[in-house]
Structure 1
Amino acid sequence: MNARRRTKADGLPSRVYVRRNSFFWVRPTDEKWLKLCRVAEGETLMYERLAAEKRKVEVDGDEGSMSRLVAIYMDKFEGQYSDTFRDEWKRRGEDVRKAFKHHSVEQVDSGLIEDFLLQNWADKLPTQRAMKGWLSKFFAWAVRRRHAQVNPCREVEVKKPTVRDVYIPHDHFMAIRAALASYSYEKKIKGKLQVITAKVPTGPEMQIFVDLCYLTCQRSTEIRLLRWSQVDERAGVIRFKPTKTENSSGQAVDWPITPEIAAVLRRARALRRELTVQPLHDYVITDRRGKPKTAAACRDAWRDGLVRSKLEKMDYVVKDIRAKALTDAYRSGHGIDELQVAGAHADRATTEDYIKQRDVPVSVVRLRLPAA
């Protein structure tokens, strides 16, 4: 509902109205009715809340309409994203606000967006695609709300990232896993150089994370967000419903609790009892406050493990653990159909791509030079 013109003076500020015994302000940028406070709470509080809301949308003398609209868009839609992705989604929005702070929304065209992507992430095609997707959704909203005439992202082409073919050898994998929990350094003690081994505080949690990623062939997100309620010990399975496909194929898989997985879960329970703060959530892998590990925390810990194991030049990432697990399972004799179920893939071709890129066949053809 749009703000209506007053027919008689009521002593209220512009665009402030009383509805259902509360003061509401109609935001001029999108005509949204924002509740300020109850009438019974008084006009003083109403004016304070009104000033705070106006500061969110008023031009600060240096900020263009693009930045202000992005802020409104973020405030409106951040609640639609999960807790685990919301911070990353907001970070991308802040990158957009910073880059286009001095522009009006009408000035931002396809050329500016392309420059923004190439200048910041020239060698990171996945990030380019993610940022273009963020901007495209923003402009789609801006067009619907009549803040913009066209969506300039439609004319921007972003190269598709090459299919990743990295495979982590066994010795590298175990070296990184060990480095997650401890590291060594040299120190002089009484004039003699000695090797000291120190523990990493987050090492046990990260080893559990890596072990479950490998033993269950699941995406790292499913392991980070794994709850004890998914561990059905009576049935002897862990019930996975991948978040990546919950709104598409809805593929799910019950993974048997093997002796190896059972041993990892026992370690996780022991760590849970050691938490100094009562866990806030029912997650299997948590930080010291009982909250689930973030993607950034797992990524940083993995990178630190690469450095400590002196494998930082190998470009291994957390997602490569799943690819290694599926490839190792294939090499041990499991068929593509079995691996498709294990990976919760709706399409057999997806499973085959995982294997093809990492299990390079060895030719058995032997030739000799022809006789003269």
Structure 2
Amino acid sequence: MPRKRKVEDQWMPQRVYKGRSAYEFKPVGGGTVRLCDVDAKQSEVWAAYEKYMAIANNKHTVQHLVETFFDSADFRDLSLHTRKDYQKYSKKVLSAFGKMDPNTVTPVHVRKFMDILGQKSPVQANRHKAFLSRVFRWAYERGKVQRNPCQGVKQFKEKARDRYIEDYEYDAVYQRACPVVKAAMEISYLCMARKADVVKLHQSQLLKDGIFIQQGKTGKKQIKEWGPRLRKAVSTANEINPDVFSMFVLHQKNGHPFAVASFDQRWRKAIIKAREETQLPLDFTFHDIKAKGISDFEGTVSEKQQASGHKTESQVRVYDRKVAVVPTVESKK
């Protein structure tokens, strides 16, 4: 049985004792943890004890903060794409900061973390910092932390992608792609849609007036009008495992939609085959197909914005990559 405390020490937390120079906590497993100076007030002793226990129980760490954020309504309100990205970014963030007290994380720590990631990928370093900042901003607004250590930490400069796919490059890959990739390329191009919105396209989204698409990133709802080429793309999709009933336009033999990794593998095969047979570099991504669609869409920036579903004209300009043909002095005469 533990020794009975002296009357004057009965106010102390359990397993806390007054040492020569400090109040100390004696964990069950042995050892001694210094809590505060011996001349501290009773309230200060209790505060130090509660802080230590919170950390010991993993309730006052960045790990716990991130887990609480992932369980919040704010996180659930984010798009599926963003939620998946945040969960992916959390792995490296928690590897670096997980066991730290959130209030001890400083801009210097964040800068060092970014510099290490930035050696391989400055863009990824920026994305990880943005995630960490989102967590701390959420926590600060709810009184869980004293500050956001990401504020004032400069991001790496990013160069906007300006790769425009020429028609002959698009055709080179399209002609050598499997039906799954062919259908996805055409739907992405004609509808100016993201890969994630195309790969998970549901049969119920094929309406009388066109294809209903709610963008996973912006939540924008649109019906993309039918045209001969778009109808042909859906017919190509129907040729995929025709004897299999599926609720998805692009589906596997078991009727399930393609996972991103599985679809990406098919895309890479088409690109590699096209490179080998044409000797063209074909250094573009599937995401660049959406940009080609916006670039080829005939209309003003405002009209492109309405058709593509972007929130601002500045976002549209990022995707509008075709080099403009402008008059010269003589052609204007």
TM-score band by shorter chain is 0.5 to 0.7
| 8 Å CA contact 2:80, 2:216 repeated in 1 | no
Q: Which of 190, 194, 197 is the aligned partner of 1:222?
A: 197
Provide the aligned C-alpha RMSD in A.
3.3
Q: Which of 140, 143, 155 is the aligned partner of 2:140?
A: 143
Q: Output the amino acid matched with 2:149.
A: P
Q: Greater CA deviation, 172-181 or 89-98?
A: 172-181
User: Percent of counterpart pairs with the same letter?
Assistant: 22
Q: Residues 180 and 150 of structure 1: is their aligned pair in 2 closer, same or farther, counting only changes over 3 Å? A: same
Q: Output the amino acid matched with 1:309.
A: A
**Higher strand proportion:** 1
How far did residue 164 of structure 1 move?
Answer: 1.9
Q: What is aligned with 1:205?
A: 180
How far did residue 320 of structure 1 move?
Answer: 1.0
Structure 2 gaps, min length 5: 1-55
How far did residue 139 of structure 1 move?
Answer: 1.4
In 2, the alpha carbon distance for the partners of 1:343 and 1:354 equals 10
Q: Residues 218 and 274 of structure 1: is their aligned pair in 2 closer, same or farther, counting only changes over 3 Å? A: same
In 1, the alpha carbon distance for the partners of 2:155 and 2:273 equals 35
Q: Output the amino acid matched with 2:102.
A: V
Using structure 2 for the length normalisation, give the TM-score: 0.67
How far did residue 297 of structure 1 move?
Answer: 4.2
Q: Output the amino acid matched with 2:62.
A: M
Q: Residues 303 and 117 of structure 1: is their aligned pair in 2 closer, same or farther, counting only changes over 3 Å? A: farther
Q: What is aligned with 1:293?
A: 258
Q: Residues 304 and 156 of structure 1: is their aligned pair in 2 closer, same or farther, counting only changes over 3 Å? A: farther
In 2, the alpha carbon distance for the partners of 1:329 and 1:217 equals 9
Q: Matched residue of 2:150: which SS?
A: helix
Q: Which of 296, 313, 321 is the aligned partner of 1:328?
A: 296
How far did residue 273 of structure 1 move?
Answer: 3.8
In 2, the alpha carbon distance for the partners of 1:92 and 1:296 equals 18
In 1, the alpha carbon distance for the partners of 2:214 and 2:80 equals 17
Q: What is aligned with 1:100?
A: 97
Q: What is aligned with 1:116?
A: 113
Q: Residues 163 and 88 of structure 1: is their aligned pair in 2 closer, same or farther, counting only changes over 3 Å? A: closer
In 2, the alpha carbon distance for the partners of 1:168 and 1:160 equals 24
Q: Which of 206, 223, 242 is the aligned partner of 1:254?
A: 223
| 8 Å CA contact 2:240, 2:251 repeated in 1 | no
In 2, the alpha carbon distance for the partners of 1:126 and 1:87 equals 17
How far did residue 299 of structure 1 move?
Answer: 4.1
Instruction: Say whether 1:232 aligns with 2:232.
Output: no
Q: Matched residue of 2:211: which SS?
A: strand
How far did residue 340 of structure 1 move?
Answer: 3.4
Q: Residues 286 and 76 of structure 1: is their aligned pair in 2 closer, same or farther, counting only changes over 3 Å? A: farther
Q: Matched residue of 1:285: which SS?
A: coil
How far did residue 287 of structure 1 move?
Answer: 4.0
Instruction: Say whether 1:306 aligns with 2:267.
Output: no
| 8 Å CA contact 1:215, 1:325 repeated in 2 | yes
Q: Matched residue of 1:243: which SS?
A: coil
Q: What is aligned with 2:177?
A: 180
Q: Greater CA deviation, 357-366 or 157-166?
A: 357-366
Q: Residues 144 and 291 of structure 1: is their aligned pair in 2 closer, same or farther, counting only changes over 3 Å? A: farther
How far did residue 156 of structure 1 move?
Answer: 1.3
Structure 1 gaps, min length 5: 1-56, 182-203, 367-372
In 2, the alpha carbon distance for the partners of 1:266 and 1:352 equals 32
| 8 Å CA contact 1:74, 1:93 repeated in 2 | no
Q: Output the amino acid matched with 2:238.
A: R
Q: Matched residue of 1:149: which SS?
A: coil
Instruction: Say whether 1:358 aligns with 2:322.
Output: yes
Q: What is aligned with 1:339?
A: 304
Instruction: Say whether 1:74 aligns with 2:40.
Output: no
Using structure 1 for the length normalisation, give the TM-score: 0.61
| 8 Å CA contact 2:103, 2:147 repeated in 1 | no
If asked which structure has higher relative contact order (CA below 8 Å, sep 6+), I would say 2
In 2, the alpha carbon distance for the partners of 1:124 and 1:335 equals 35
